[in-house]
Structure 1
């Protein structure tokens, strides 16, 4: 975490006052701000040196006028300045960032992607928090907790698990990686609508590999592919796998073809079409469905945990296909398989063996 004080409380308040005067003047008169101003504004909010009302106006006004690339980069930098960050004792790390506001229409299997990748020889961790606006859905934290996983590891403890040959994966909660950001959850819930924080919080990059770090995240709306690609580079990742996934997550549709965008280093993003049928996946549903009659985040999280454990133990079905598809995309992106078809065969063999369940 950065201990450097960039500004005094008085200076921060002056910057925030100037920024609000420019960004909150209506649909035609609002003006953009510079990257450093956005960074100072975000840090001032996180460090509590500006009034919550001003924090609210800052976030909503940016959203209403639409954030620029410089503003997005500045917001992310402000958050990263105050994020606990470590280097794991492994060469490469895959950072899995599903939406922190969770799912509410399908039964997610993505919380169990990290242990599967670990069994495939790829150290990985997922991030999240309990739940947050705008969806207040069921999340990795809720589901993995029901599966008996420790969801309150420090950043150092999570990194240590990645280097443990018997484990190789972890869940990292925002309360541990970015505690000041996590304290804004009640304010964000009062705002109701999505803000720039929803985009930036998945890119904090708390755990790096010794040599390379890769981000896997999802999106729904096409314009966000470019925005995420831009921010991934700014955050310091070496590559990214951007999945147009179900509910904005990292699980591609099992019913129809979808597009992922991938890049390494400074290379341009490459669109990769994913056709489930070519991987012997055929379903009428996009993703595993919530069982009929099961309601509430707790009960649904329990069912998702049961399904995830059973899948890692080798139970075939739609959940296995969904998890297999996500893992195959990672192997292909990292160059660990000759083709998606060969990667799918390798992943299915591991799942069918049940070995990945031992990672839990």
Structure 2
């Protein structure tokens, strides 16, 4: 919402937006897709401890394609086999289970990370080196002042990266998107996957697609 994105799309509207080649993305809010789950927010805050819903809600699949892939983050070592089982039961064709920064879907930008790949029903270790994707960063990728940023300021940094501004946010976009291209089998060479993402960002194509998606 801070980035100017319409957070009121219905599932049908999001599916239509995804089918437009010049857009190719959509945001669905939990309040729209699963209102009964969204209604538990106050209860979950009172519980303090992270309930199982914090994991299960990541696998909700309101829109499904002929093939649907999952890229999901974990922190604790016990999670990958659990996430793999849930991904299979949910109907995902594959899953890249990432030891992500702060539990996100992009690993450290500074060194090789130990992740897991669920493919053809089997879970296997998957080491990823950011330099193999052409990403050369001296930081892990966590911005030191992130906790002090407002939602609007954080959104502005992301938008600047989408417009091609170089820096940590840009490299996070490159790594995350290139990993997705590689994991889904669209590009077999990791360095080429990174180059394709950088080309899209630097040419303005990525931001143009973002603009079309957020203004519909």
TM over 0.5, shorter chain: yes
Retained in 2: the 8 A contact 1:312–1:355?
A: no
Residue equivalent to 1:334: 184
Match of 2:68, SS state, is strand
Question: Are the structure 2 counterparts of residues 169 and 280 from structure 1 closer, same or farther at C-alpha, using a change threshold of 3 Å?
Answer: closer
Q: 2:67 corresponds to which residue?
A: 212
- Does the aligned pair in 2 maintain the 1:219–1:244 contact within 8 Å? yes
| 1:285 is the counterpart of 2:120 | no
The 5-angstrom pairing of residues 193-342 of structure 1 reads: 193-209=49-65, 211-266=66-121, 268-291=122-145, 295=148, 299-342=149-192
Contact 2:133–2:178 (Cα < 8 Å) also in 1: no
Q: Deviations over 1:199-243 (max 9, x none)?
A: 11111111101x111111100111101100000001111111111
Pairwise mapping of residues 56-67 of structure 1 onto structure 2 (< 5 A)? none
In structure 1, C-alpha distance between the alignment counterparts of 2:5 and 2:134, rounded to whole Å: 32
**Pairwise mapping of residues 139-218 of structure 1 onto structure 2 (< 5 A)?**
145-209=1-65, 211-218=66-73
Gaps of 5+ in 2: 212-216
- Which of the pair has more CA radius of gyration? 1
CA displacement 1:339-358 (0-9 Å, x = unmatched):
21111111111111121111
Within 2, Cα distance between the matches of 1:252 and 1:221?
Answer: 14
Q: How far does the alpha carbon of each residue in 1:3-52 deviate from its partner, in whole angstroms, 9 at most, with x for none?
A: xxxxxxxxxxxxxxxxxxxxxxxxxxxxxxxxxxxxxxxxxxxxxxxxxx
* Count of paired positions: 210
SS at 1:160 equivalent: helix
Question: Once the 2 structures are TM-superposed, how far is the Cα of residue 290 of structure 1 from its aligned partner?
Answer: 4.6
Structure 1 unaligned regions, length at least 5: 1-144
Q: For residue 13 of structure 2, give the secondary structure of its aligned residue in structure 1.
A: helix
Partner Cα distance (1:288, 1:186) in 2: 29
TM norm structure 1: 0.56
Deviation at 1:288, TM superposition (A): 4.2
Report the alpha carbon displacement of residue 291 of structure 1 after superposing the two structures with TM: 3.5
Cα RMSD, aligned residues only: 1.6
Query: In structure 2, how many angstroms separate the alpha carbons of the residues matched to 1:350 and 1:232?
Result: 30
